[in-house]
Structure 1
């Protein structure tokens, strides 16, 4: 028997091992950079706040969440914002006009800042950190591969097409806009990529052209891979599902407030420190939580504590050249918004009791209160 097949197999095994080693190194480098360059020692002035539980005497079980996780959830939302930017850019131009590299570096920059802010509290969960690294590496791979393709082949077919989008372009612009809205309240892996792909081939009229053929092939590969990857992530997430509700203490809240918003469940009265009435409530998390906060502020209520914590990360959107001074808030970062040139997303370490006032102040200044990042 010729020794050549055996040598080929050994050579293939060595190349495979080298490739896996390089992949492992590429994954380890950003994690090591964050852990080594962005971690900080806990701030002793915050330890009582983070570890002592509720100042209203509410039992930690089912209520208290890690203070640092509010900051560490921002990188997840940075991905949501990136997809919203991609949808906005695609709607006015094409996928090739999006800055994929800026989206990638924005994630890791935000994770570094979030790690510093969370580390100062001394109260973070390992699960949230692991989640950030998993989604960050996945997002990086997706952005770099998609960016390399869209900036070359995609840009060429978009130029060949001219200013008039194809039906495939319109389909993807609609899908991206829908996906961006979907991500505000629901994990990405629950998006029906398989149903959307079926709709592309079943319902979207096909007019032969270079761009139409290229888009159908590229979108089929892109969303097919995402659907397959989503199945694995959904399985893993099912082993440790995230809680979908959060509890807060609100001053002055009564039965009429809960009746005005069916998403609010009033759990009972809480003795406020100043002797005034307050109540413990349970609400949905994510985007719905921010909407509920806005409604509470409109009815003149003040949030006193969220999940046993008195500070929270918030982001606001400010138009070109606009700044706003916010009481009880320390600015942490500012990032440009690709889909709205000149606008900035500014992150604040905000006192919970100033939340509803922050919403009013930002919107009175011509900005938009974007999100309160629950724990």
Structure 2
């Protein structure tokens, strides 16, 4: 009888450890770590574009078509990776909508920049016009914005008003007005399309949470550089339920916690054995070491031939260890796809 009681106690303890601590309202399903990648590619691609135009490189040479191929090939990879999960129909529909609209946008921009845009480049003087410099600033401002909030929240109307406040005369007059036409069209179309997407998204999904709940294996040391770290509950075994920022800010917070020796036991309700996708930017010669991670795919950075993007699949329970390993290598953590 005593042995039976001890066995029951052990089973109850194991169940308590394995049961998710994260409240139901803050849980997200495991396949979303893969399915969020196409969304985030539409952050990575504009970020590459912003770096490109800030360097005043010819827009007619920007690899729009290459980015279209990378978007769809990565979607194929994450679709294959989620084949064993229940079909997340809503997420796939959303990806198909944004991927198709991006394909149309990039295709039209490619056609324009290779024709009238290239003529404007040829007629331009040695220095960029005020419109080109303004477009580069807006491109970077847009990237900074969509790292935190949905793209359709960006104020494209404000961007257009700023464009038309620039002096209308000056050197390279054809290029100035060609850029005004191209940028005004882009900002107006995105403003209108963004408004439609915002209405549809809010009607279908409501407002997305900007935070995520995480269970850590221990209580980390206070860090003034993590102002949005909020402890919620400390468990008897020392684990701690905390609230962290979601999306872009999650990666630096996870890195900072990992460097303290902290490990993750749940992320958005997903347990230690759950798969977790992350991407890193590496030299083209870099190869992953022999560990338990899976190489999902690689993508060259088309405007930076010395670097590539590597998508790795790790586990929630291994994330802290992986981040500490990567910290000592010549790589840059691009993003952790926190469901």
- Please state which band the TM-score falls in when normalised by the shorter chain: 0.7 to 0.9
From 245, 249, 253, the equivalent of 2:219 is 253
Aligned to 2:182: 218
Within-5 A mapping of 1:256-271 = 256-257=221-222, 261-270=226-235
Find the aligned partners of 2:175 and 2:213 in 1 and give their Cα distance.
50
SS at match of 1:62: helix
SS at match of 1:103: helix
Aligned to 2:261: 300
Find the aligned partners of 1:313 and 1:53 in 2 and give their Cα distance.
27
Gap change, CA 1:263 and 1:197, over 3 Å in 2: same
What is the CA distance between 1:91 and its match in structure 2?
Answer: 2.2
Within-5 A mapping of 1:164-243 = 164-204=127-167, 206-207=169-170, 209-239=173-203, 240-243=206-209
Find the aligned partners of 2:310 and 2:40 in 1 and give their Cα distance.
13
Gap change, CA 1:302 and 1:157, over 3 Å in 2: same
Aligned to 1:40: none
**Please, what is the CA RMSD of the aligned residues?**
2.1
SS at match of 1:332: strand
Structure 1 contact 305–352 (Cα < 8 Å) conserved? yes
TM-score (norm 2): 0.87
Give the unaligned 5+ runs of structure 2.
1-14
Instruction: Verify: 1:348 aligned to 2:309, yes or no.
Output: no
Instruction: Verify: 1:287 aligned to 2:254, yes or no.
Output: no
Instruction: Verify: 1:143 aligned to 2:106, yes or no.
Output: yes
Q: Deviations over 1:42-71 (max 9, x none)?
A: xxxxxxxxxx99824426512331100110
Aligned to 2:122: 159
Instruction: Verify: 1:329 aligned to 2:330, yes or no.
Output: no
What is the CA distance between 1:174 and its match in structure 2?
Answer: 1.2
SS at match of 1:108: helix
What is the CA distance between 1:326 and its match in structure 2?
Answer: 6.1
What is the CA distance between 1:277 and its match in structure 2?
Answer: 1.4
Aligned to 1:80: 43
Within-5 A mapping of 1:10-89 = 55-58=18-21, 61-89=24-52
Aligned to 2:12: none
Q: Deviations over 1:97-131 (max 9, x none)?
A: 211111111111111111111223x1453222121
Instruction: Verify: 1:359 aligned to 2:323, yes or no.
Output: yes
Structure 1 moving runs of 4+ over 4 Å: none
Gap change, CA 1:333 and 1:204, over 3 Å in 2: farther
What is the CA distance between 1:88 and its match in structure 2?
Answer: 1.8
Gap change, CA 1:177 and 1:78, over 3 Å in 2: same
Find the aligned partners of 1:171 and 1:53 in 2 and give their Cα distance.
57
What is the CA distance between 1:339 and its match in structure 2?
Answer: 3.4
Gap change, CA 1:167 and 1:100, over 3 Å in 2: same
Give the unaligned 5+ runs of structure 1.
1-51
SS at match of 1:315: strand
What is the CA distance between 1:86 and its match in structure 2?
Answer: 1.3
